[in-house]
Structure 1
């Protein structure tokens, strides 16, 4: 289990989190929502070992993530951490000039040793690329791909780590509507098939309703509501935290949040 206990974090003199605690439900999809500045991105970075809390602990299977042994990978996470936790960031142009297969292979770095690559790595990479339908793109440069293709490549790179936890930082931001839902369908399929524990940030509340097992609504560094999507994403909660009047409508597929687009009075 990945758990934050009584953590503090500040930006300069401004404290964002004060004795903040959170546990991610295993084998579930948890979505972080909230207005800008609510603490979503900071919490994401804390849980993924990108930044360190000033107090409190974040533990993975009972062990402090900052006390894991191993050589740092990409100045982000120790090998032991990277074998359990994979991260898909927003698009990164630093890797535009390498090929798909080269990028996906980077996901195996936590398993490399001084003697070279680990056994069976190539077979695993090929399997992942086939599952995500990017095997035919193996020799193309990242810059040649569409946004939807790039996101699948980054997801393949994360899956190459064979993680137990998958973190997705606003994964639909640069995708058109078709590829947003196609990508989230893939994420949901992976959750069910591989029992991955997934944590993601989404801005689209309808998508959070549809693709989450648990939703955490943050505002001003505090959890305002936490629970099943339909319990958290309500007209009252949206009005109070986003300043938007809206109403819920029922469809055969489930609840849909209908935004009225006016500022709450």
Structure 2
């Protein structure tokens, strides 16, 4: 295995967009070195756009991304690939390529005119495939795999690159619950073993809180809150970022914040009447229903 060294990654006053439409507006962020950072937010808030910009896949219209204090746009592509690896949201592979060949491509940035394939490359590939549980399907074509298997192979390729900074855009997509936790546990192992800086986009807030050291909550192309999960994930922040009424309680396993949505049809009905009325009064959804009923001149049975 390669020896990892710490590299810094940050952004200053970023503005990024597509087709004349600005997605990210004057965003500045410093990724904590040696930690797991998780970017959360509603769909289309700019999470993936930020990750792609940090990885130099997108060029900002204003501002800059700094890798080790230098503009990432000024650093040669191969030099960036030796420090920073990316697993995009929807990667594509050449038709007919096998698992082993695809994972092996993660070593390409370390090849050159002088440096040829070594035993260390073989060991890095084997370690990555073993870590992601794809070693037994090494000879199978990617086209024949399930969505979950394919996702684990892509993660293995990113791991084989052995970069100090690893960016992953929704790495648990297509995975069942067991493999979601296996992948997230694997990322924690990598972080603890090598002090690798990891940045990932996740939709599941409870997983983000449990596995992330540092959370970045985004809304409309800007950062609303960032810091320790216990500081970021509050009922007010979730309401503001997602427009969702929730209760935040301690996770009974990890002790991290656990988000419990308040739905219109999933609140408990086994409470005493007085408690039920009190809960309804505190429930935003119940308030909205009561207001709608009043507006329509409907008398609810419980109000008679």
CA contact (8 A) 1:100 1:141 kept: yes
Shift of 1:53: 0.5
Measure the CA separation in 2 of the matches of 1:2 and 1:205. Answer: 24
2:65 aligned with 1:58: yes
Measure the CA separation in 2 of the matches of 1:20 and 1:224. Answer: 10
Measure the CA separation in 1 of the matches of 2:101 and 2:151. Answer: 15
CA contact (8 A) 1:148 1:183 kept: no
Work out which of the residue numbers 252, 259, 262 in structure 1 matches 2:261. Answer: 259
2:20 aligned with 1:19: no
Unaligned runs of 5+ in 1: 70-77
- After TM superposition, the structure 1 = structure 2 runs for residues 154-169 of structure 1, keeping only pairs within 5 Å, are 154-169=154-169
CA RMSD, Structure 1 to Structure 2 (Å): 1.9
Aligned residue number for residue 48 of structure 1 = 55
Measure the CA separation in 1 of the matches of 2:36 and 2:124. Answer: 24
Shift of 1:135: 2.3
2:88 aligned with 1:92: no
Alignment: residue pair count: 257
Structure with more strand by fraction: 1
- After TM superposition, the structure 1 = structure 2 runs for residues 144-223 of structure 1, keeping only pairs within 5 Å, are 144-223=144-223
Structure with more helix by fraction: 2
- Indicate the SS of the match to 1:16: strand
Measure the CA separation in 2 of the matches of 1:12 and 1:204. Answer: 30
Q: 1:147 to 1:193 in 2, by over 3 A?
A: farther
- Indicate the SS of the match to 2:262: strand
Aligned residue number for residue 234 of structure 1 = 234
- Indicate the SS of the match to 1:30: strand
Measure the CA separation in 2 of the matches of 1:259 and 1:229. Answer: 17
Unaligned runs of 5+ in 2: 1-7, 265-283, 289-304
Shift of 1:195: 1.2
Q: 1:17 to 1:229 in 2, by over 3 A?
A: same
CA contact (8 A) 2:151 2:173 kept: no
Measure the CA separation in 2 of the matches of 1:30 and 1:137. Answer: 31
- Indicate the SS of the match to 1:261: coil
CA contact (8 A) 1:82 1:163 kept: yes
- Please say which structure displays the higher CA radius of gyration: 2
Measure the CA separation in 1 of the matches of 2:200 and 2:218. Answer: 13
CA contact (8 A) 2:155 2:171 kept: no
TM normalised by structure 1 equals 0.89
Q: 1:181 to 1:171 in 2, by over 3 A?
A: same
Q: Which moved more, 1:252-261 or 1:125-134?
A: 125-134
